[in-house]
Amino acid sequence: MPKRMLLASAAVVALATGLIVSPTRANDGNAECENLDDPSTSGWTSHAELGRQLAQIETTSSGRVDVSVIGESALGREIWAARVGTGDRVMLITSEIHGNEKTGTEALLALLRTLASSETAQAQTIRANLTIVAVPKFNPDGGELNRRQNAFTWDEVMQTFPQLQGTSPPFYYSNGLGGFDLNRDFNADLDFEPQPEDIPTDEVEPGLYVTNEARALRDLYVDLRSEFGTVDAYVDLHHMGSCSQQNDTDKYATVALDFPPLGSEIDGNPRYDDWPLLDQDKSRRYALAAALGIREFAIGEPSPFFGGVTRYTHQQIADGYSFDRDFAGQARSAFALNGTGTVLFEVRGQSDDWGQKQKGQLVKAVQAGVTGLAIRLADGSADSLNGDDFYDLPKYW
Ligand SMILES: [Zn+2]
């Protein structure tokens, strides 16, 4: 049933029975949805608490988990990375690249706790064959300010990079907030240094690496690449709206997954022909591996609140949209162009009204997806999936 009809019939029932029921708050969990830009941080892990929890996980892990500081935010907060596993395949994961999208942070803490102490066959296989490097709160200033952007003004950028004196900021800077969308500050050229003529005005252009945070993740990526030869997988954890419904069942989309929609394979544009390591099918296989992990978890989650796994919209001009979702400045794009299989997670989010049980379901769904990819990388089964099967995941747009 289309959502408008669902809401209309709920309103009719409410009127007929005399109950005071908001049509978007029916008891059926599937009817709950609300979109807020910056929902309350209540119930989520703060920067200070994250530091305490990571230290505790490291201390009690019998040497399995190593926590390090990979950089410092503009306001002086640590950017932590936790490493677990001794395998020669590498999986890099970030959460809270957008500071108001916090479900993934809890999922990574849960994953780290499991891998620190669990003796299950799955945990042992992952630890033996994979090295996981998780950055659970990549944008700590945005996290504390409960907003998408970091806190770094264009004046501070021009002081830091004198060659940019007298220039105007790129499209991904918010004048009103004095901060950047970190997920547009990346560039596939890992040696890139910003120059005035490179300041992007459009999403299709790469970023500048002007933020501490993006530079810290780039340096981590480069270090891992020199240690392991390649970074096999990169997973980026986000929130999407709360009200998207799957086309096949009308259930809400719990998690949407994506490979990076770059260039010619999507729209025939050859702008990435200079990046031969780009392997879109690998990213689709890895996204599918994550989807299989979420579906295994979903079998035990009959709640209507838990809809299921979908694929994320690509919003191409060819399909009637006003722009192509081909964002060269995203971390997942920059790393994919360097040969990494990259997977975007977008979990239902942005609601103040969900209780701990509902938040917990979403955290577990994300954890299941990340674990689903990790175990399939560790046992090699991700490599034999059919990437085209990714397109069998339901749409929600
Ligand atoms: Zn996001």
pLDDT in tens, 27-70: 345 456 777 777 777 789 999 999 999 999 999 999 999 999 99
| Residues ≥6 apart with Cβ < 8 Å to 318 | 267
100 alpha carbon – ligand 1 mean position (Å): 8
* Cα–Cα distance measured from residue 331 to residue 76, given in angstroms and rounded to the nearest whole number: 22
227 alpha carbon – ligand 1 mean position (Å): 29
Q: Is 209 exposed, middle or buried (0-12, 13-18, 19+ CB in 10 A)?
A: buried
Spatial CA neighbour of 312 closest among 205, 395, 198: 395
* Cα–Cα distance measured from residue 294 to residue 306, given in angstroms and rounded to the nearest whole number: 11
93 alpha carbon – ligand 1 mean position (Å): 14
pLDDT in tens, 269-292: 778 889 999 999 999 999 999 999
Spatial CA neighbour of 365 closest among 348, 378, 343: 348
Across the chain, mean pLDDT equals 88
pLDDT band of 17, cuts 50, 70, 90: very low
- Average pLDDT on 382-387 reads 98
> To which residue do tokens 């999407």 refer?
240
3-state SS class at 23? coil
268 alpha carbon – ligand 1 mean position (Å): 27
The region of weakest confidence among 152-161, 183-192, 233-242 is 233-242
pLDDT in tens, 305-360: 677 899 998 887 777 777 778 899 999 999 999 999 999 999 988 666 677 788 88
98 alpha carbon – ligand 1 mean position (Å): 5
Q: Is 53 exposed, middle or buried (0-12, 13-18, 19+ CB in 10 A)?
A: middle
Instruction: Compute the Cα dihedral for 275, 280, 286, 290 and give only its sign.
Output: positive
Query: Which contacts qualify for 154-159: CB closer than 8 Å, 24 or more apart?
Result: 154/178, 156/74, 157/210
Characterize the bridge pairing of strands 341-348 and 255-258. Answer: antiparallel
346 alpha carbon – ligand 1 mean position (Å): 7
pLDDT at 304: 63
pLDDT in tens, 195-241: 999 999 998 899 999 999 999 999 999 999 999 999 999 999 999 88
365 alpha carbon – ligand 1 mean position (Å): 17
Spatial CA neighbour of 388 closest among 272, 295, 299, 259: 259
Helices 47-59 and 103-117: crossing angle in degrees, nearest 10, is: 10
CB distance 232 to 283 below 8 Å: no
301 alpha carbon – ligand 1 mean position (Å): 25
pLDDT in tens, 77-87: 999 999 999 99
183 alpha carbon – ligand 1 mean position (Å): 8
pLDDT at 359: 86
125 alpha carbon – ligand 1 mean position (Å): 31
282 alpha carbon – ligand 1 mean position (Å): 22
241 alpha carbon – ligand 1 mean position (Å): 10
pLDDT at 267: 62
62 alpha carbon – ligand 1 mean position (Å): 34
CB distance 126 to 85 below 8 Å: yes
Residue 2 has pLDDT above 70, yes or no: no
All residues with CB under 5 Å from ion ligand 1: 98, 101, 238
- Average pLDDT on 116-140 reads 98
61 alpha carbon – ligand 1 mean position (Å): 31
Residues in the chain: 397
pLDDT at 264: 57
pLDDT at 106: 97
E runs forming strands in 136-245: 173-174, 179-180, 233-240
214 alpha carbon – ligand 1 mean position (Å): 15
